[in-house]
Structure 1
Amino acid sequence: MDDASTLHLQAIAAANANDYPLTLALADRARRLTSDRDLLDRIDITASRAVAETRGSAEAVAMCERVLARPDALPVTVGLARSQLGMLHMHNADGSAAMHNFEAALTTLQGHPLHLGRVFVNRGMLHLQQGDPNSAAGDFEAAVANFDLTDDLEVRAKAVFNLGYSHLLRNDLVAAIQNMDAASEVLARLSPVSRAIVQQDRAEVLVASGRTREAIDALEDAAAAYGSERVRRYQAECEFVLARTLLAEDPRRARTVARSAARRFRKHGSEPWALRADAIALIATIEGGSRSAALLATADELVSALRQGGHRLEAERLALHAARVLVRRGQLQDATERLARIRVTADSPITTQLLAREIQAELAAARGDNQETRDEARQGLQELHSWQATFGSLDLQSSSVGHGQHLARLGLRAALEDGRPEVVFEWSERARALASKVTTLRPPPDPQLASDLTALRLLDPGETAKARALRERIRSKSWYAAQGSVGEPATLDVLQVRLEKDHAALVAHVVVGDAVTALVVTGDQAHVVPLDGATLVRDQLDRIAADLDFAAHNPGGSFGETVRASLDEDLAAVADELVTPLLDLVGDRRLVLTPSALLAGTPWTLLPGLKGRPLTVPTSATRWLELRERGEPTLERIGLVAGPRVERACEEVDRAAAEWPSTDVLNGDDANSAKVAEVAARVDVLHLAGHGVHAGDHPLFSAVELADGPWFGHDIDLLSQTPSVVVLSACELGQVSVLRGEESVGMTAAWLHAGARTVLSSPALVADDVACEALAHWHRLVAAGSAPADALAEVVAESDGVVPFLCFGAGW
């Protein structure tokens, strides 16, 4: 039979695992087996945590205060009671009382590293609650140092995980992910509640990275887990985070969830937390469009209460939203005065910094000051890009651009109202490809990432749960990529010098609302040309995509002819809207196209007026200039890969190989991931012919099928060197997903991000016969010295089939 000390240790373990009913049951059994006053005190201290979670904080506080009231209580026990009392006050958002007790505990518990470490963890959480992530990080680091003197891996993992959360609030996203990942496996094993805590805090990383939908799913699962375990305070805190996450996606639901959280907090006796939830509900009301005077009065009361409670970050955000209401009401002087009183610094969360810039830009726009609008938007985007430069992952960079989407629209709208080509060009560059502003260093080799990708390749299709876990781990690992550097957009003058040398023109299609505008730049002229509405064009592009796919599957016969006629009609209609009004301006020049992401998937090479014309689609004009200034690469080492189950893949690569003096050709069992990676890292041109799959939800899991399974977009980052030219002759691999923030991501973007100069791919399906003939012709021309885009233009012009291939990056 267990004695009281053993049962107490079991109660401590249950409390650490957040199993509060079991904690109380074990504590009751332990009390009945001992009369030792010190042990009874310690049992009460342990049980108080479970009492607070199940019966309310008042009773729990009284239990700890009874221990402190005993004059003969042992010093260590007094320290433990102070630590627990501090945590109880912290959960009630009484920061002053919590800090007093934590500091007293730290003094009393010197020489006891396990107990000291726990106090540092709890005080670090208080610093986080008070919006001081720098002090929090210091406490979590001290906790880890103390836990390193013990053999308790579980409490150490909690400290490391919380250190990750403090890095998140310090805007260090990669350090946050690394610390959380290092600890999450240990913590998730402890209990369903611990697993939910990991899920909840990891969701906040997803929010910061722009993966809002995934964060919402994770938070909903965590809230349900807390509810099942009947830990209502945790459930309320999770609902609070969920409501905050929903603000941008669904303000009405955010308000409902925030009000539910506020009710739970008040039922639990935590009025300060309830006020924080009230603030989220009020922001949701504002984001839903409300702008009444009563709303402003309520906001002022809440801002004051939050500041008095030490919740500076929440107070600042609510105050900013209140200023937005004043802008919407036309009370611009009042808005100016309010904004001047709000303290937003470089240490504020990046989302708060960007919100402040948005509202300053909205205020300038309401005054009709286009210059000030652009200045505020520009500064906000520069802050975003400086933050993006702290991580090198394409996945993170692409998804995080949603944070700058509204600023980019404000700046672009102001630029179009200004109307000067140089201003429109600047904002076309700033707004069109926010992630491409960051130039990334090659990441170091990662054996674990390579191992996980291999495991995912070999996985049985039925093992969906294991596949999900592997994909999540792979994405997290990819987020550790090296830092990058931020560049400014090129100037219009510099662009025109290059265009004149290349006998080329830039056409930048810009979409704001439903309006499409084209900027046309040649070596000596620049024009801003209004075009037709975006909705009509998007509908036509959707029909073209369907016709292209059908034409690829049914190239012949009377039905195929009917589809081809429909396709030609829609291509002509899109050309009439996007191309024909610009032809007199571009003349016979090559084209550099930087279209809005809304036009992603446009088969530009097939449009009348562009068919047979060399053109290239870079991520931005600035990036195209960088690639052109490096000069044209020498194409001598050629790698050709034929994947399985494509009828003419072997013929396609063999015919391409015949055009070059020497090549590496992989087919059959040799076309496996290891050999393809080895060849890809040492050739100048890599041609992949095989079945491809575009993963729309996570585009970097798009893959080309090889002999041993899929070769993913994530595999590209493992290459020591990247080919200059990549040909993706695989169905679906030229497709893109447009993420929040209008950032286009797919296998093409992955190769360009990794350093490829040119990628040849198709935004639609291509018939195997057409691809085989067209690409053999293309290789013949490129081997003879033609630039990739020049060769493609000739191939498209001379082909009887539908050849929707495009050159991305620098096509010459």
Structure 2
Amino acid sequence: MSAGSEAVLDLLPMVFAAPGEALAQATEVLDDRPPPLHASVAHQVIGIWQRDFGDLRLALRHLRRARDLAARADSADREADVLATLGVALVHAGRTRQGLEAFDRGVARGTGHTRARVLYRRAYVWWVLGRHSEALEDVRRAVPVLRQADDVIWTARALTLRATVHLALGAVERADADFSAAEVLWDTTGQEHDKADAVESRGLAAFRRGDIPAALRLLDEAEERYGKLGTPTFMLDIRRCEVLMAAGLAPEALAEADTAIARLDRIGGQSTRKAELLLAAARAARLTGDPHTALARAAVAVRLFAGQRRAWWETHARLVLIEARAGTGRRTGRMVADAAAVAERLRSFGSPAAPEASLLAGRIALALGRPADAERHLAVAARSRYGGPPLARMTGWAAQALRARAAGSGRGVLEACRRGLDVLDDHRMTLGASELRARATAQGTELAALAQEACLASGDPRRLLAWSERWRATVLSAPPTRPPADPALLSGLTAFREIAARAEGARQDGRPVPALDREQRRLEREIRSRTLRLRGAAPGTGDRFDPRALLARLGDGRLVELAVLDGRVHVLLCGAGRVRRYEAGRLADAVAEAEHVQAGLRRLAHPGGQARLPLVEAAGRRLEELLLGPAARHLGSGPVVVVPPASLHRVPWALLPSLRERVLSVSPSASSWLRAGAVRPPAGGRQVLVRGPGLATGGAEVPELAGRYGAPTVLEGGSARAARVLRELDGATLAHIAAHGAFRADSPLFSSLAMADGPLIVHDFERLARSPYRIILSCCDTARFASVGADELLGLVSALLPLGTAGVVACSAPVNDAAVVPLMLALHKGLDAGLSLAESLRDARSALPGDAVHQSTGWAFTAFGAA
């Protein structure tokens, strides 16, 4: 073969090493009027590029031309190679029959080494079609020939493909072995695109093992590699959507899938990938509680898969379609039969999703009052509880719990729920980011609800309390993983602070800041991406909640835990050695009333709102009836701790008449309150006072407090910079921070306090070795949270409690800045006298003037924790 021929043939491996360069060189070859053989190669290279990164219609045009030129060149192996490339493109275009026919001709025309390459590509097509046994058979035939020919690149591709097929069948260990063997081979090549694909595939393997942080890290690395090559890849989008959904980030998965579909449509890309993206979007929409969007996406996916003759994929899409229909409230016998048929087909394919379909059939049958049918399907689904990845085992335990409930076995329900939630606990603790831990709890919602329902039926309030605690504020049970040695994260946080400060300054000057806003959003994505990759500690959840320990600790106090079952509030009143249950109002009514109260407090924060005071007080009485009901008459005379569900975090509890004059604190869970009470203050008694910029009163309480405490660390003006503030806060006994607070409902861990050099965000606080023993946050919106997962809160206060803070005073509503100053001074007076935060806040409220502005200011502040 001449040097010129070898140079042209080198373009084929180049398209997966340097795609852009290969495209340019192939175009130059065609400009020189090459002989048929060289022209065939050039058209094939352009066709591959268009097939994988561009317009599929152009790809087919070039590949058909390459096939015709190969025939003119009278090279059977060249023709076989092009036919394989064309076959892949035809299948991706949805022309499955034509694609398989092209492969049949390619296998017949090719010989030896070339034929093995054709078999590998046909195996890839079988995988795309969901025909995994055929894929494994073709790879089995191809690999020995490729190895014998010392074809490192194609052997590595074949091993990577075989690993991917094993993953689809749930054989994770086999997949790992093939991925490892392929990685060794890739390291000897310069195939950069193939290497990126291998990293992406390893991310998929990590996901199948249940290692979400590793999956996110590897997919991010693959995206970076693809970005350097300038090659978009829709398979990566599909896989990222899978991981995001498993991480509890379904809204992000839906947005990513829809964006990728739009991008694919713009370039005229592969219809096979579009169908897979539609399936991902349908699943994400269902998980976000949007069954109508899920129905629309799944229906189109089913039609596309059917037209593409992709039965494996079509069956998975039909499962989502039935789930979406059930999500709209529809329950019919036909749906039971359809779900059972889907389950049977999935089992025949060897799909790990089969138990999910059986569970769905059982659920619908139960809803229709068909216990025999339900038992048959649930028994099949329950088999998955002892093996497979965490979420598959949870599916099995959910099925077992439903079986026990149908059989009237409360003990069986609780045992199944306990085992299932233990699986999820172990899974959550592999996640280092508090956000992922919080969102992952949503996957245990059904099990927790079934357990509480069984406890309610048993009539044992102490058992109901234990199960209410079992799945409440679990994120606070352990601090997030800290990455002190991650210079990229530190750099990102510093850059974010600088950009955010510049953007805020420009906005205050009335200047548009679109470029700064874009850069800020980019940095936020980068910071969040790095924190989500953090791995957690070893599996294990620590000590279980013990009601006896709580009752012993309470003394003459009472703890009021609010549990929600079937939309109603149940009050678990703990104290005087026992737990009593009372039924209060509807949760939806209480949430609506709390929003009305918030609106009233906003009005009262400004002079002239006095007339609304009676309305707000009346709303407080209604809230008490809805939230405490008869329990309000049995609170005793001692301190009260309120443990509300996440949906009620904005209730100003001090406004409720029976709580207004009490020593009152709020805790995300009884367990959290017990842990906070066990925290001991650090040695040294160091106080830190911080004044941020732009306050209406200038943080007027800080200078007076500085004189009261003798020699505290005072950070204000240029010294109130984020790095210095964090350094001084670490391990302090008391911190008082007067700084503007900003709550980010869209991204709660970017909620912030304004410092001299920009925002101090929750991600910053999570880096503290030990947050201050007591913290007082004297400005608006510092006690606002986002409710995520099953019953979790994300925000500034919830970030501090696991890090060593025993008590926080913060504000959940807009307040009058001037009225805050006397409240804070009175609060610190109580602390000087040796009182707790809750005792000091109670006395500070009573010391305020009786006008509406000061009263509403006192109600807006809450003591959290037990210090």
TM-score with structure 1 length normalisation?
A: 0.93
User: For residue 82 of structure 2, what is the aligned residue in structure 1?
Assistant: 43
1:182-201 → structure 2 map (5 Å cutoff)? 182-188=221-227, 194=233, 196-201=234-239
Q: 1:540 aligns with which of 593, 598, 604?
A: 593
Are the structure 2 counterparts of residues 809 and 710 from structure 1 closer, same or farther at C-alpha, using a change threshold of 3 Å?
Answer: same
Residues 1:172 and 2:237 aligned together: no
Are the structure 2 counterparts of residues 176 and 103 from structure 1 closer, same or farther at C-alpha, using a change threshold of 3 Å?
Answer: same
- Contact 2:279–2:301 (CA under 8 A) maintained in structure 1: yes
User: In structure 1, how many angstroms separate the alpha carbons of the residues matched to 2:598 and 2:161?
Assistant: 56
Are the structure 2 counterparts of residues 619 and 634 from structure 1 closer, same or farther at C-alpha, using a change threshold of 3 Å?
Answer: farther
Are the structure 2 counterparts of residues 334 and 58 from structure 1 closer, same or farther at C-alpha, using a change threshold of 3 Å?
Answer: closer
Q: Which moved more, 1:27-36 or 1:150-159?
A: 27-36
The AA in structure 2 aligned to 1:218 is E
User: In structure 1, how many angstroms separate the alpha carbons of the residues matched to 2:411 and 2:338?
Assistant: 34
The AA in structure 2 aligned to 1:214 is E
User: For residue 181 of structure 1, what is the aligned residue in structure 2?
Assistant: 220
User: In structure 2, how many angstroms separate the alpha carbons of the residues matched to 1:514 and 1:243?
Assistant: 28
User: In structure 2, how many angstroms separate the alpha carbons of the residues matched to 1:688 and 1:482?
Assistant: 31
User: In structure 1, how many angstroms separate the alpha carbons of the residues matched to 2:582 and 2:437?
Assistant: 31
Write out per-residue CA displacement over residues 442-494 of structure 1, whole angstroms, 9 at most, x where no aligned residue: 44432212222222222244233333332222212112334144135322111
Write out per-residue CA displacement over residues 474-519 of structure 1, whole angstroms, 9 at most, x where no aligned residue: 212112334144135322111111112xx32211122223321211
The AA in structure 1 aligned to 2:169 is Q
User: In structure 1, how many angstroms separate the alpha carbons of the residues matched to 2:683 and 2:860?
Assistant: 22
Are the structure 2 counterparts of residues 704 and 230 from structure 1 closer, same or farther at C-alpha, using a change threshold of 3 Å?
Answer: same
SS in 2 for 1:696: coil
Q: Which moved more, 1:165-174 or 1:8-17?
A: 8-17
Q: 2:325 aligns with which of 280, 285, 296?
A: 285
Q: 2:696 aligns with which of 629, 647, 660?
A: 647
Q: 1:90 aligns with which of 111, 120, 127?
A: 127
Residues 1:138 and 2:177 aligned together: yes
Q: 2:614 aligns with which of 565, 573, 596?
A: 565
User: For residue 426 of structure 2, what is the aligned residue in structure 1?
Assistant: 386
1:639-718 → structure 2 map (5 Å cutoff)? 639-718=688-767
User: In structure 2, how many angstroms separate the alpha carbons of the residues matched to 1:381 and 1:364?
Assistant: 16
User: In structure 2, how many angstroms separate the alpha carbons of the residues matched to 1:333 and 1:581?
Assistant: 42
Q: Which moved more, 1:717-726 or 1:394-403?
A: 717-726
Are the structure 2 counterparts of residues 295 and 537 from structure 1 closer, same or farther at C-alpha, using a change threshold of 3 Å?
Answer: closer
Shift of 1:23: 4.1
User: For residue 361 of structure 1, what is the aligned residue in structure 2?
Assistant: 401
- Contact 1:575–1:607 (CA under 8 A) maintained in structure 2: yes
Q: Which moved more, 1:718-727 or 1:333-342?
A: 333-342
Q: 1:771 aligns with which of 820, 828, 833?
A: 820
- Contact 2:480–2:766 (CA under 8 A) maintained in structure 1: no
The AA in structure 2 aligned to 1:44 is L
**Over the residues paired in the alignment, what is the CA RMSD in angstroms?**
2.6
User: For residue 319 of structure 1, what is the aligned residue in structure 2?
Assistant: 358
Write out per-residue CA displacement over residues 131-185 of structure 1, whole angstroms, 9 at most, x where no aligned residue: 3333333333333222111122221111111211222222211111111111112
- Contact 1:187–1:198 (CA under 8 A) maintained in structure 2: no
Are the structure 2 counterparts of residues 547 and 603 from structure 1 closer, same or farther at C-alpha, using a change threshold of 3 Å?
Answer: same
Are the structure 2 counterparts of residues 580 and 265 from structure 1 closer, same or farther at C-alpha, using a change threshold of 3 Å?
Answer: closer
SS in 2 for 1:804: helix
Q: Which moved more, 1:128-137 or 1:643-652?
A: 128-137
Are the structure 2 counterparts of residues 609 and 306 from structure 1 closer, same or farther at C-alpha, using a change threshold of 3 Å?
Answer: closer
User: In structure 2, how many angstroms separate the alpha carbons of the residues matched to 1:703 and 1:673?
Assistant: 11
1:748-759 → structure 2 map (5 Å cutoff)? 748-759=797-808
SS in 1 for 2:709: coil
Q: Which moved more, 1:245-254 or 1:178-187?
A: 245-254
Q: 2:93 aligns with which of 54, 62, 65?
A: 54
- Contact 2:363–2:374 (CA under 8 A) maintained in structure 1: yes
Are the structure 2 counterparts of residues 92 and 490 from structure 1 closer, same or farther at C-alpha, using a change threshold of 3 Å?
Answer: closer
Are the structure 2 counterparts of residues 533 and 268 from structure 1 closer, same or farther at C-alpha, using a change threshold of 3 Å?
Answer: closer
User: In structure 2, how many angstroms separate the alpha carbons of the residues matched to 1:179 and 1:477?
Assistant: 12
User: In structure 1, how many angstroms separate the alpha carbons of the residues matched to 2:394 and 2:630?
Assistant: 37
User: In structure 2, how many angstroms separate the alpha carbons of the residues matched to 1:481 and 1:159?
Assistant: 22
- Contact 1:385–1:438 (CA under 8 A) maintained in structure 2: no
Residues 1:811 and 2:866 aligned together: yes
Shift of 1:670: 1.9
- Contact 1:385–1:437 (CA under 8 A) maintained in structure 2: no
Q: Which moved more, 1:799-808 or 1:505-514?
A: 799-808
SS in 1 for 2:859: coil
User: In structure 2, how many angstroms separate the alpha carbons of the residues matched to 1:318 and 1:470?
Assistant: 40
- Contact 1:611–1:797 (CA under 8 A) maintained in structure 2: no
User: For residue 638 of structure 2, what is the aligned residue in structure 1?
Assistant: 589
User: For residue 207 of structure 1, what is the aligned residue in structure 2?
Assistant: 245
The AA in structure 2 aligned to 1:417 is A
User: In structure 2, how many angstroms separate the alpha carbons of the residues matched to 1:295 and 1:533?
Assistant: 32
SS in 1 for 2:356: helix
SS in 2 for 1:797: helix
Specify every segment of 5 or more residues in structure 2 that has no aligned partner in the other structure, as ranges. 1-27, 504-512
User: In structure 2, how many angstroms separate the alpha carbons of the residues matched to 1:245 and 1:635?
Assistant: 51
1:605-624 → structure 2 map (5 Å cutoff)? 605-624=654-673
- Contact 1:579–1:609 (CA under 8 A) maintained in structure 2: no
User: In structure 2, how many angstroms separate the alpha carbons of the residues matched to 1:20 and 1:242?
Assistant: 22
The AA in structure 2 aligned to 1:243 is A
User: For residue 112 of structure 1, what is the aligned residue in structure 2?
Assistant: 151
SS in 2 for 1:766: coil
User: For residue 489 of structure 1, what is the aligned residue in structure 2?
Assistant: 544
SS in 1 for 2:583: strand
Q: 2:651 aligns with which of 572, 595, 602?
A: 602
- Contact 1:258–1:277 (CA under 8 A) maintained in structure 2: yes
User: For residue 508 of structure 1, what is the aligned residue in structure 2?
Assistant: 561
User: In structure 2, how many angstroms separate the alpha carbons of the residues matched to 1:198 and 1:654?
Assistant: 55
SS in 1 for 2:593: helix
SS in 2 for 1:759: strand
Shift of 1:395: 0.7
SS in 1 for 2:350: coil
The AA in structure 1 aligned to 2:146 is L
User: For residue 509 of structure 2, what is the aligned residue in structure 1?
Assistant: none
SS in 2 for 1:738: strand
Shift of 1:197: 3.1
Q: 2:514 aligns with which of 434, 438, 462?
A: 462
Q: Which moved more, 1:248-257 or 1:24-33?
A: 24-33
User: For residue 281 of structure 2, what is the aligned residue in structure 1?
Assistant: 242
Are the structure 2 counterparts of residues 744 and 357 from structure 1 closer, same or farther at C-alpha, using a change threshold of 3 Å?
Answer: same
User: For residue 15 of structure 2, what is the aligned residue in structure 1?
Assistant: none
- Contact 1:704–1:730 (CA under 8 A) maintained in structure 2: no
Shift of 1:55: 6.1
Aligned residues: 802
Q: 2:486 aligns with which of 440, 446, 456?
A: 446
Shift of 1:723: 1.6
Are the structure 2 counterparts of residues 52 and 18 from structure 1 closer, same or farther at C-alpha, using a change threshold of 3 Å?
Answer: farther
Q: 2:189 aligns with which of 122, 134, 150?
A: 150
User: In structure 2, how many angstroms separate the alpha carbons of the residues matched to 1:629 and 1:672?
Assistant: 32
- Contact 2:604–2:612 (CA under 8 A) maintained in structure 1: yes
User: In structure 2, how many angstroms separate the alpha carbons of the residues matched to 1:88 and 1:482?
Assistant: 35
User: In structure 2, how many angstroms separate the alpha carbons of the residues matched to 1:58 and 1:573?
Assistant: 68
Write out per-residue CA displacement over residues 761-803 of structure 1, whole angstroms, 9 at most, x where no aligned residue: 1111222112222222222332443222221221122222121
Q: 1:396 aligns with which of 436, 439, 455?
A: 436
Are the structure 2 counterparts of residues 43 and 294 from structure 1 closer, same or farther at C-alpha, using a change threshold of 3 Å?
Answer: closer
Q: 1:371 aligns with which of 411, 415, 427?
A: 411
Are the structure 2 counterparts of residues 375 and 729 from structure 1 closer, same or farther at C-alpha, using a change threshold of 3 Å?
Answer: same
Q: Which moved more, 1:53-62 or 1:142-151?
A: 53-62
Are the structure 2 counterparts of residues 147 and 762 from structure 1 closer, same or farther at C-alpha, using a change threshold of 3 Å?
Answer: same
- Contact 1:143–1:156 (CA under 8 A) maintained in structure 2: no
